Structure 1
Amino acid sequence: MNQTVTITKAYSSDSQFKLKDGAGSDAIHTTPIYAYAVCKLQTDRNIEGIGLSFTLGVGNNLVCQAIDYLVRHVEGKEINELMANFGKTYKAMSDDPNFRWLGPHKGVVHLALASVTNACYDLWAKSKGLPLWKLLIDLPPKDIVNTLDLSYLEDVLTREEALEILNKASETKKNREQILKTGYKGYDTSIGWFSYSDDKVKENIRKAMDAGFTAMKLKVGSADIKRDIRRAHLVREVAGDKATIMLDANQQWNLPKAIEICTQLKEINPYWIEEPTHPDDVEAHVKLANKLAPIKLALGEHVPNKIIFKNFLQSGCMSFNQVDAVRVGGISEFITISLMSKKFGVPVVPHVGDMGQIHQHLVLFNHISMDHEAIFLEHIPHLQQYFKNPVNIKGGYYQVPQEPGMSADLLKY
C-alpha cells in the first residue's frame, strides 16, 4: 500500500486523565494528572495522523495553542513528499522565528513540536498501511537520515557518521529480527509509586512477578531518608536477589544529599539510580557518577533536547539514556539522540510518557536497525483503556504491534 495523502487540516486536542489511589505519584508530582497535547492531521483520504506530547495537566492547553500555530508548517503537504526531507521542515519548525525566543528547543513550544512531528510519522506509516516499526526498519539509511535535523551536533555526529552507523547495522539486522518473534522485554514501573503504602508495594511486586516481570522500579526521594532505605530493602527482600531493581528519585535531591542517600541505597545493588538531582546539572551528575561507581545513573526523562543530551553523553556520567519521544521534539529528535547515543556506546532505555504506545515501535527500530542492545522498556498501564490499540504485554514482554501507525490513537471518552 502506497498512496498519496495530503494534509488538509491540522489542529490540537487537549486530553487529560485523572489518576486514582496514588498511581503515578513521585517525590515531586504527588497528585499527577496524565495529559496529552494531541495533534490531529486530517487528510484527503480516510486516515488521520495522531501525535502526542505528554504533560501533567496544568499547561497542557498552552502546548495545544502552540500546536495550532506550528501546524502551518505541514498543512497542505503531501505526507510522503513531506517526509522525504522532513529534517528541513523539522528545523524550520524548531527554529520558527516567532517561537524560538520561547525556547530555544525546550518547554511548551518544543512539546508542541513533538506532537506535530509524531503526527507526521504516524500519518506516514498509516499512508503505507504499516506499523511504524516496520516502516522505519524497512527504510534505507539515507531516508532515515533525511528525516533528521543534525544541526549543532556536527562536532559529535555528522550526516556521514549517522549513515555509517545505520549502514553498518544494516549488515547484521536480520540477526536481530528474532525479537519480532519473542517481543520486547518490559519492566514494571507501577509496583512502587511514591504514595503507595508498604503493603501495596509488596502486593504489587508479587503481582508483577506473577505476570512475568523480572525487573521493576521503586520511587524514592522522601523527606525522610529512612523511608527510602526501608522501602528499597523491602523491594529487594520481596523480589529476591535475582530481580532487577531500579530506583527513581525524580530530581528530588541536591548533590550532597544525593551522594549521602545513594551511597546507602547501593546496599540493595540497584541496576540504576534514576534522576538523582536537577536534570540540567551535568557537572553534578558527573561528580555523583564518580562517587557511586560501579552503580550507574539513568538520565534523560526531563532532558528536553539533543544539545543537552550531547553534553550528558560527552560527560560520561549517563549510563542509560532515557530519551522520551513525547518529551523531546518527537520521533525525529528521538532517532537523532539514539544515533548519538549509539556512537557514545550508551544504551537507550526510554522513559514512556506515552505509556509505551509509541516507544514499543521505536525500541524495535533502535535494536534492529541501529544495533542498540535490547535491555527492556518501561511499562505503565494506567491509560491503556483510553487507547484504540493499547500495548499488549504477555509474560512481561511487549508483543509486536501490527496495526498501521504508531499506536497513538485515543478513544473518545
Structure 2
Amino acid sequence: MPGSSAITRITAVDMRYPLPPGAGTDAVHTNPEYSLAVTHLETDDAQSATGITLTLGEGNRLVCNAIEILARPLLGRAIEDLMADFGSVSRQIANDSAMRWLGPHKGVVHLALASITNACFDLWAKARGVPLWRLLLELTPEELVGTLDLSYLEEVLPRQCAIDLIRSHQVSRAEREGILKSGYPGYDTSIGWMAYDDDKVRELTKRALARGFSAFKLKVGSADESRDIRRAHMLRECAGDSATLMFDANQQWNLPTAMRMCRDLAVLRPLWIEEPTHPDDLMAHVELASAIAPVKVAAGEHIPNRVVFKNFLRSGAMHYVQADATRLAGVSEFLTVSLLARRLGLPVVPHVGDMGQLHQHLVLFNHIALGHEVNFLEHIPHLRQHFVHPAQVEGGVYRTPQEPGASLDLVNLSVIVA
C-alpha cells in the first residue's frame, strides 16, 4: 500500500463554459451555460485532485459556497484513512446540522457533496497510481461497501446483502473483462438539442452515423406538439430503421400530455422516453410506465438521492436507471444506486453531467463487478477540450481510460487556484 497523502488545502472553483448557439437546450433549459462547481484538493506530498458537479450557470457560485462549508472535515485527513470509512464520512457531511436544513440530501448542498466526493475518489485513485475503474475493481467487497452510505436502505440493501451481491459476481468477472479491450458503447445526445433546426439535426445525425454511432437521443417537449412528432419521424428516417432512438421530454409534460405524446411517439419504436413528467411525481411515473409498455420510461437525472431512487425502483416507476454521479452525492451514492438497481433487476444507463468523463469508469465497474448488462453511455462532447484527459470515443465506443484518477482534471484550473 502506498503512503497516504494528507489533504492540506481545499478550494472551490467556479468554472463556466459558454456553449455554441442552441447546444444544450431542451424543453425547460433554454439558455444553458455549462458550468462546473469544482472541488480542488491538494496534499502534503504535492498531489492534487479534482471533483465536479454540473450546473447551468447561475447558481454555480451557490454550490461552490456550499463546497467551502461542507468540505471542512476533510482537512488534515489522510486519503487512505478517509476512504476506509468514507460511507460514515459522507453521512456525517450530508447530515451537517445546519446545511441539512437546506435539503435534506438534495439541491445545492447535495450537488456540493457530489463535487467533494468525486474529488476524494479522484485523489484516492491517483494516490494508488491507477485509473478509478481499476481502483474500484481491486477493492474487496467489504472495502467497497465501506465507502457507501446505506442508511435508509436497510430493508432492501443491508450491508451484508451488498457485500454478498458483489462477492457473488467475483467468480465470473473474467467473462466480462473483455469490455476493457472492446470499449463501452456510446449514444449521441448532441445531435438533437431542442433549439436545433431540422437541417442541423439531419446533418449532425449523418456525421454521428459516419463516426460509428447507432443510437441517438432527441429532445421533445415543444410548445407545438406537432413539431415533436415531425422531428421524431425525421430522425427515424435519417438514422434508419435499425438505429436505436430515445426521446427526452426533460420533465415538461403533465401526466395527460405525457400519456398522449408517449403513445404518439411509440410508433417510432423508441427504446425509452426520458423524464416524461415532473421528477417528484412517483405515481405519475408508475401509471405511465404501465400504460405505454412496451416503450420504456427512463428517469434519474433529477432524482436527488438513493432514498428516492429506492422508491422509484420498487414501485415500477422506471425501466432505465439514469443515475448521475454529479447529481447524486458523487461516486459513492452512484455505486449505492447501482447496487440497488442490480438487486432489483434494472439496468443503469447514466445521465452524464460530467460529459462522460467520470461515468466511463463507473459503467466498467458496474458491468465487470456487478454484472450489469452493457447498454451504452451517453456522449456529449461540448466540454471535451476543457479536460486534461478527455474521454476517447472512437467508432461510437468509449475507449478505456488508462491515466491515474477519475479523468476529471481541467485545463487551466491550476492557474486559477494558484
TM-score range normalised by the length of the shorter chain: over 0.9
For 1:97-130, what per-residue CA distance to the aligned partner results, in whole angstroms no more than 9, with x for missing partners?
A: 1211111000000000111111000000000010
Q: Distance in 2 between matches of 1:251 and 1:44?
A: 45
For 1:309-349, what per-residue CA distance to the aligned partner results, in whole angstroms no more than 9, with x for missing partners?
A: 00100111210000100001000000000000001101000
- Superposed displacement of residue 3, structure 1: 2.3
**2:330 partner amino acid:** G
RMSD: 0.8
Q: Does 1:107 align with 2:82?
A: no
For 1:113-158, what per-residue CA distance to the aligned partner results, in whole angstroms no more than 9, with x for missing partners?
A: 1111110000000000100001001111110000000000001110
For the 8 Å contact 1:301–1:351, the answer to whether it is kept is: yes
Q: Does 1:383 align with 2:383?
A: yes
Equivalent pairs counted in the alignment come to 413
State the match for 1:370 in structure 2. Answer: 370
Unaligned runs of at least 5 residues, structure 2: 414-418
State the match for 1:307 in structure 2. Answer: 307
Q: Distance in 2 between matches of 1:236 and 1:3?
A: 55
Q: Distance in 2 between matches of 1:260 and 1:181?
A: 43
**1:280 partner amino acid:** D
Where 2:71 maps in the other structure, the secondary structure is helix
State the match for 1:323 in structure 2. Answer: 323
Where 1:170 maps in the other structure, the secondary structure is coil
Matches within 5 A, 1:271-282: 271-282=271-282
For 1:215-269, what per-residue CA distance to the aligned partner results, in whole angstroms no more than 9, with x for missing partners?
A: 0100000011100000000010111110000000000000000001111000100
**2:72 partner amino acid:** R
For 1:31-54, what per-residue CA distance to the aligned partner results, in whole angstroms no more than 9, with x for missing partners?
A: 101111000111011211110011
Matches within 5 A, 1:4-403: 4-403=4-403
Task: State the percentage of identical aligned residues.
Answer: 57
Q: Distance in 2 between matches of 1:343 and 1:330?
A: 20
TM-score, length basis structure 1: 0.99
For 1:251-305, what per-residue CA distance to the aligned partner results, in whole angstroms no more than 9, with x for missing partners?
A: 0000000001111000100010000000011100011111101110000011110
Q: Distance in 1 between matches of 2:409 and 2:26?
A: 27
- Superposed displacement of residue 390, structure 1: 0.3
**2:230 partner amino acid:** R
Where 1:247 maps in the other structure, the secondary structure is strand
**2:116 partner amino acid:** V
- After TM superposition, the runs of 4+ consecutive aligned structure 1 residues lying more than 6 A away are none
**2:291 partner amino acid:** K
Unaligned runs of at least 5 residues, structure 1: none
For the 8 Å contact 1:11–1:71, the answer to whether it is kept is: no
Where 1:192 maps in the other structure, the secondary structure is coil
